[in-house]
Chain A
Amino acid sequence: MTRWGRAVLPLAVVLVVVIAVWYAGAAWLNFDVTANLAEDDATTWEILQGTMSQDRPLLPAPHQLVAELFSSVFEHPIDSPKSLIYHASVTAFAAFLGFLIALALGIGLAIGIVHVRTLDRSLMLWIIASQTIPVLAIAPMVVVVLGNIGFTGLLPKSLIAGYLSFFPIVTGMVKGLRSPDPMQRDLMRTYSASGLHLFTMLRWPASMSFLLPSLKVAATLALVGAIVAELPTGAQAGLGARLLSGSYYGQTLQIWAALFMASFLALLAIGVVDLFRLVLIRRRGGRL
């Protein structure tokens, strides 16, 4: 089998199975509701057909979801609150801003930790421990408290997104900056290289293969942070707001569409990081 066939054929088969199970699940889950709404003399076949086109299905059929995604993405101007693109961009922008803040602060702090022993000893344990703690739990409080002192909308969301993505960036970067082995460092010493040379020619390039995987984690965390930060104040715009209002009004199609859009954003973010990785790999002759 060709490489293409080896990679794509299994994936295609599994996807077909997933979609088939999805249709079966939709028929099964929506059956009772449909039967209750149907006329008394409806045949089983008619009810089954009905399960595929409920307004508020327990599980929308795949084609319903595609139709909903299509109409909410393409049939409204992108600045209208009915457009899913509008909501996605609100969330994505907050996540992206938070990610940038975390990137700058995270790399800066990692450099400090690697070079200043007091920082290393004081902070590293807490930074590692914080990865075992559900920090997302503070999101509602941050949003509400910042709202009380007059900051609403973008800023609280970006702060939470940044706070979440900060930790993987710091730990990845500290690991990376420390990754050069003693021999590689001794080499620099035999050249009597300055601290700046040691950093720019050894530590920094060596850190990249550690930073990039943690950037993927950080990017998806930023997105989750931005979405959850939209929940507590009942935000009017954003994917989190779409999820929440969908769940209030039983608009299942709206929930599923927002979920798929969020997943698409996560893939997009990972894709962008991967693109950076590929560029770097090309410059390094095929390996990171």
Chain B
Amino acid sequence: MTVLELLLLAAGGAAGLSLLARREGRLGQVGTPLLFGALVLAAWQIACVEFEIPRVLLPAPSAVAAAIVRSLPILAADFMQTVAHAVLIGWLLGSGAGLLAAVALDRSAFLRRGVLPLGSLVSAMPIVGIAPIMVMWFGFDWQSKAAVIVVMTFFPMLVNATAGLEATGTMERDLMHSYGAGYWQTLLKLRLPYALPFVFNALKLNSTLALIGGIVAEFFGTPIVGMGFRISTEVARMNLDVVWAEITMAAVVGSASFAALALVERAVTFWHPSFRA
């Protein structure tokens, strides 16, 4: 390909994007980003082939695709280690404990005022750094990664769920009061449903945090399997196509779990204003 041909290709892509972007409805809304993604992939592929970019710098998308197919068993093993064990279990335990703690703290305004500022503080800290400590406590296997994730996901859930439990309006609470409803009845029938959108927000945020925690914690040491382990060792061995395959899997897992949570949220909190068209 000549430079002229490449320029023509780029100009054509830009023109196509701007034409598509002006279209109303689904075609413009979904088509434009998809075309953009396709163009980026094409540019990447052409650049790698035409300019002979070495594989140790940037493998072509075709090479990454080949690596995905070739190393499916490895990817599956890494998925089982990192996602199915560390991330899933850590996410469930951390979010669940955060929710329980929020309900427990709900009865004491004094404790809430003491714990919440601390909780927001801890949420803002670089918690992945505790990975080496967790390795000392829980060993090299997935348990230590799950422990990191528990700590990472606990506080966002605590802070969000507490805000959710406080989201009920005085009018609704007065209504329950007028029925002579007790604390637990009010909690179950009114305040927990009201808190659900907040809880789902935390669950979605936590799913991303958990994946980050699971992968990065493995950079600090792990048995010879796992997504983070694979990324760090294959980088060192210059097998960048395998690294990109792992990154692709991480991206797919991240957006798929986010989308799945969003679907569940929609089904459970369909009454919330943000879902009423």
Contact = CB atoms under 8 A, between A and B. Distances in A.
Interface in B9-26: 14, 17-18, 20-22
Contacts of B57: 145, 148-149
B243 interface: yes
A137 B215 contact: yes
Given A118-B21, A140-B231, A263-B125, A243 B216 contact: no
A125 B31 CA distance: 11
Interface stretch (A74-82, A193-201, A252-260): A252-260
B129 A122 contact: no
Interface stretch (B60-68, B90-98, B187-195, B232-240): B232-240
A58 B136 contact: yes
Interface in A230-288: 231-232, 239, 243-244, 246-247, 250, 252, 255-256, 258-259, 262-263, 266-267, 270
Given A14-B114, A232-B232, A255 B133 contact: yes
Closest 3 CB pairs of A and B: A247-B132, A10-B114, A14-B114
A146 to B, nearest CB: 9
23 contacts: A7-B113, A10-B111, A11-B118, A14-B111, A117-B21, A122-B17, A122-B32, A123-B33, A133-B255, A134-B215, A137-B227, A144-B236, A224-B128, A228-B216, A228-B219, A231-B219, A232-B235, A247-B132, A255-B132, A259-B126, A259-B129, A267-B121, A270-B124
A216 interface: yes
B111 A224 contact: no
A223 B204 CA distance: 22
B111 A266 contact: no
A141 B235 contact: yes
Contact of A138 (B115, B236, B247, B257): B247
Contacts of A117: 18, 21-22
Main secondary structure of the interface of B (DSSP, over half): helix
B258 interface: yes
Of A138, A148, A149, chain B has the most CB atoms within 10 Å of the CB of A138
Contact of A134 (B18, B36, B254): B254
Of B112, B126, B254, chain A has the most CB atoms within 10 Å of the CB of B126
Interface string B233-268: 001100010011011001100110110000000000
Given A244-B220, A267-B125, 19 more contacts: A7-B113, A13-B110, A15-B114, A58-B136, A118-B14, A122-B36, A123-B33, A124-B33, A126-B37, A132-B258, A134-B250, A140-B219, A141-B240, A149-B57, A227-B126, A239-B129, A247-B132, A252-B133, A259-B133
B228 interface: yes
B139 interface: no
B46 to A, nearest CB: 19
Interface of B: 14, 17-18, 20-22, 28-29, 32-33, 35-37, 56-58, 110-115, 117-118, 121, 124-126, 128-133, 135-137, 204, 207-208, 211-212, 215-216, 219-221, 227-228, 231-232, 235-236, 240, 243-244, 246-247, 250-251, 254-255, 257-258
B204 to A, nearest CB: 8
Contact of B208 (A125, A132, A227): A132
A120 interface: yes
Contact of A140 (B110, B132, B232): B232
Contacts of A149: 57
Given A14-B111, A137-B246, A148 B240 contact: no
Interface residues of A, number: 58
Interface in A29-60: 29, 58
Contacts of B56: 145, 148
B76 to A, nearest CB: 18
A124 B33 CA distance: 8
B133 A131 contact: no
Given A11-B118, A117-B21, A132-B208, A246 B132 contact: yes
Contacts of A231: 219-220, 232
A148 B14 CA distance: 33
B68 to A, nearest CB: 15
Nearest to B218: A137
A263 B247 contact: no
A13 B18 CA distance: 60
Interface string A6-22: 11001111110010000
Of A122, A216, A243, A262, chain B has the most CB atoms within 10 Å of the CB of A122
Contact of B129 (A12, A126, A138, A243): A243
